[in-house]
Structures are given as structure tokens and as C-alpha cells.
Structure 1
Amino acid sequence: MRLAFISDIHGNAIALDAVLKDIKEKDVNKIFVLGDLCFRGPEPKRALELVRSLNTEVIKGNADEWVLRGIEEGEVTSKAIEMMTKEREWTLSQLDAEDINYLGNLPTEINFEYKDIQIHAFHATQNNLFQVVQPFEDDSEIKQKLMVNDAADIYIYGHIHKSYIRYVDGKCIINTGSVGLPFDGLNQPSYAIIDICEDGIGIQTSIIRVDYNASNAIKQFKDSDYPDKELMIGILKNAKI
């Protein structure tokens, strides 16, 4: 069983096109989407339509929550909140009521089991869409923040836009990285694959990086009236925030 996990698309439909093409070529059996679908990208509507066309399990991220109810004080810096509110308003202008209803009905976690391998997936942590858990956290912090479901063998999340794989107490923790806005200095979309052996004992995990035409996504921003587009262009170019 080959599973693909994608997250943090952020309205970059061109990057999502490339990832879905790569997933198809790898004969993946099932795709899971771990949130942050359309906010802060040039094509929120098309990105959301691509996700919905997968007819698969999708969960909500913090950026999806922002689209629904706005950005509250303390969630971003006081300097950023005014501009990000304008970005949210722009995103809302590209979506319709059905899109908003879809985002509002998304769950916040996925529990998947195959051949006695249990996978627990969420956006940031199980109980918080906004909490940041970095790759360099101590094992104790990883256990407290990410490994709440004791029954799981694999824990997988997005949110931080930095992919990694590590093991704690014999269990696997994976971050998918970001499809649309990587923050690790490599401007290639990333996603995760989990292969579960048919005997239900062995697993193989990998982070995949995909080539795509970032210049086309940058041109979309340049040609749009997106607020603070120079900031977003810089992030796309440098894969850093």
C-alpha cells in the first residue's frame, strides 16, 4: 500500500499540478491532504477545486480557519495582521459560498489503519491548528505535542513548511513540508510517501521534492492585484519567509 500525504498548498495550483502528476507516476494508492489549501496564493479557487477533485480525506489547517473567521490578534505579529487581513479579503473574493462551506466542514484529524499499521495525521498538532513543532524539538516535546494518540505507529503533519522524518521511541514522525510555499530554502514542492509492506510489518517512508515552474506562479502574482505580492514573490523565489 502506497500512501501520499500533501499539505500547505496555499493557493499555488501550479505547484499542486506538478505534485499530483508526480504522485500519479508513482502509482500511489491513496492521497491524504493535511490542510492550508488556498490562502496566500495566486489561485485559491483552482487549488481548492483540484483538492476536491481528488475525492479523498482532507483536513483543515490554520490558514483554512483564517479564511473562515479572520485572523485574530496574537496569531501573527501586530505588524503583519493588517496586511494579512487584506490578503484574506482578496482570497475570499476569489471563492464562493460553496467553497466556504466546504472549508467549514473539514475535520481536523485523520486516523488510517492498514495491515496493523496505524497512522495519525493532523495539520499542526492534534488539538491545535496553530501550534508550531519544529524538527529540532527535544524528544520529550515531540512526544507531548505530536504523539498524543498512543495507538499510532506513524504521526504525520504539515504546518511548518519544513519536511523531515525522525523516530522517537520506535515510532515514526513525518512532516510533509509544503506543496506551495516551502520554507527550507529549496523552492521545490515537497510531499511524503509511506509504503506499507503487505505483511503489515515493514514500512518505508520518504520525502519527495518535485520540479515545477515557479516563475509561472510568480508571474501570476505579478499580474494580479494581490495585496503584498512582493512579499509572496520573494518567498516563492527564495523558499524562505
Structure 2
Amino acid sequence: MTGPETEWNRVAVLSDIHGVLPALEAVLAEPDVSAADRVVLTGDITAGPQPGPVMEALRELGERVLWLSGNADRELVEYRRGARTGIPDPIGPFAADALTDAQVDFLAALPRTATLTVRGLGRVLFCHATPRDDEEIVLADSAPERWAEVLSGVGPDVATVVCGHTHMPYIRLTHGRLVVNPGSVGMPYGRPGAHWCLLGPGTDLRVTSYDIPAAVARLRAECAYPDIARWADCYLNARVTDTEALATFGPGDGRARHARTGLRGNDSDQGCVCSA
């Protein structure tokens, strides 16, 4: 026999850190994150300029952290292990090569989903994109039919679903379930700052301000990625607007009933592009 599952009072959710250590450090310094019972990472932790330092900063938090893999983490592992010859995100190969073998092994072992019981929210399922796929697109304005499709395999005991992937925060009710996207810590679309959320007993979307010019300068000084100056300026300053991101991702959520196509730019000379 097993005892009753722990009900957690406060859970901090950090998604899409994308290897940006200054943004992560700002969020980890938040009192509500320090005091949270659990810290859940909903994937895309490492694909960015400082993947190793980001992983080590999080591992220092010990068993409080619940790690989940995102599509970008999976791609880094596949690239390092020879399962793919390229990564759609231009910074991906750099990030993959910056990881140690032990860090790659750690990422490879991460689960895709997890569930916790959170006070006030019931049974909460955490995932990266959707519960069934680490790249599927769902947005705040996705059709009810799309939500029914992507949540079709979720058990009736799950009252809340927390996902990431699209780098834009939202909360919506669909088919009797609350769906939460905390936005992105390291690569926000729409407005600058490190976005995250606090669960229990309600759902509180948060944004942590930090010194972005200093962070850009730090990335330029500490990261050897050749295009780091433009990358840092673009993503830390949220130069991809929410309108642009929705226009890019919208066709991929099934609203036009055609397959996902290039959601990420492959040409680093085209300026800022959406990268999920």
C-alpha cells in the first residue's frame, strides 16, 4: 500500500529558460521561488548561450526541482549522440557542444510529463508543449476543437494542465480544465523580463524584472557563440512581439488544418525569429 500523495502548497513553474543564466538567477532570487515547496521546469532548459551553468545552478537546488524535457533539450541530446546532423535553432549546435557528457546523459533521462497535487488546483499535469507531444502548438486563442484533440489522452483526475513551448504567458479554461502557460524565463515574446508562474492555491503569472543591458553585456563577455550580440539583444529585449509570434505559430495549431511548417528560422541572417 502507498500513502496519500503529497499536496503541495506552493509550486513555482519555470519554463523555456533557454540557457540564459542572468534571467534564471533573477527568478531564483525571488522570495516566492525560494520559499516554494517545489520548482517545476517545463522544458527547453538548455538550448541557449549558457546551457551548462544554467543546469548546474538548477541542480544546486537539489530534490526541490522537478525536471522535464522540452523539444529543444531533446534535440541537443540527439545532436550530441549522432541521431541528427543539425538543429533548426541556429544556437542549438553551439549549446549541444557546450554540454559535458554527464550533462547530456542527465538531459536524456528527463521525463516528458509529470503530475503533482497542488493546493487549490487539484491534480496538475506538467508538460512542455502538450501532454502528448513536445512540439505541438496550442495558443491562448486555439479553437476548442484543438484543445479537445491535444487533451484527449489526459485522465479525468487532472484538473489543471501546465505547458510552455510558445514563450507567451496565458491562463484559459477549456473543457473543464484550467490550462496555464507561464511564458519564458529566458526568451520572452511580447515584453521583456523573466516570466514564470506560482501555483497554489490559485494561479499567479509573474514577471521578474532584471538589468537587461547588463545581462546582454554579460552574455557577450561569457558566451563564445559567434552571433551572441544579436541573439542577446533580440531575445532578452523581447524584440519578437506577441503579435509576430502568434502570426508565426498560429498556422501550427491546426486552425488552418495543415501540418506544422517552419516554426523556427534556419537562417541566422534574417534577424529575430520565433524559436520554440
TM-score (norm 2): 0.74
CA contact (8 A) 1:8 1:161 kept: yes
- Structure-1 separation of matches of 2:33 and 2:131: 31
The change in CA–CA distance for 1:7 and 1:46 in structure 2 (over 3 A counts) is same
What value does the CA root-mean-square deviation take over the aligned residues?
A: 2.3
Amino acid at match of 2:60: S
Unaligned runs of 5+ in 1: 197-203
- Structure-2 separation of matches of 1:232 and 1:143: 37
Amino acid at match of 1:159: H
Shift of 1:26: 6.8
Does residue 234 of structure 1 match 2:234?
yes
The change in CA–CA distance for 1:32 and 1:238 in structure 2 (over 3 A counts) is closer
Residue-by-residue CA offset, 1:91-113 (whole Å, 9 max, x unaligned): 23322111011000000001112
Partner residue, 2:160: 154
The change in CA–CA distance for 1:140 and 1:61 in structure 2 (over 3 A counts) is same
The change in CA–CA distance for 1:212 and 1:59 in structure 2 (over 3 A counts) is same
- Structure-2 separation of matches of 1:30 and 1:144: 30
Unaligned runs of 5+ in 2: 1-8, 241-272
- Structure-2 separation of matches of 1:239 and 1:3: 29
Identity within the alignment, %? 23
Q: Which moved more, 1:157-166 or 1:24-33?
A: 24-33
- Structure-1 separation of matches of 2:97 and 2:215: 19
Partner residue, 1:126: 131
1:1-241, aligned counterparts within 5 Å? 1-24=9-32, 27-41=35-49, 43-55=50-62, 56-70=65-79, 81=88, 84=90, 87-114=91-118, 117-146=122-151, 148-149=153-154, 150-184=156-190, 186-196=191-201, 204-223=202-221, 224-229=223-228, 230-240=230-240, 241=273
Amino acid at match of 1:27: A
Residue-by-residue CA offset, 1:104-158 (whole Å, 9 max, x unaligned): 0000001112468100110001121111111110122122214631320000001
Amino acid at match of 2:192: N
Shift of 1:169: 3.1
- Structure-1 separation of matches of 2:231 and 2:24: 21
Amino acid at match of 1:183: Y
The change in CA–CA distance for 1:110 and 1:25 in structure 2 (over 3 A counts) is closer
Q: Secondary structure at the match of 1:238?
A: coil
CA contact (8 A) 2:33 2:39 kept: no
Q: Secondary structure at the match of 2:200?
A: strand
Q: Secondary structure at the match of 2:25?
A: helix
TM-score (norm 1): 0.84
CA contact (8 A) 1:163 1:174 kept: yes
Residue-by-residue CA offset, 1:182-218 (whole Å, 9 max, x unaligned): 012x11111111113xxxxxxx111001011222331
Q: Secondary structure at the match of 1:174?
A: strand
CA contact (8 A) 2:26 2:210 kept: yes
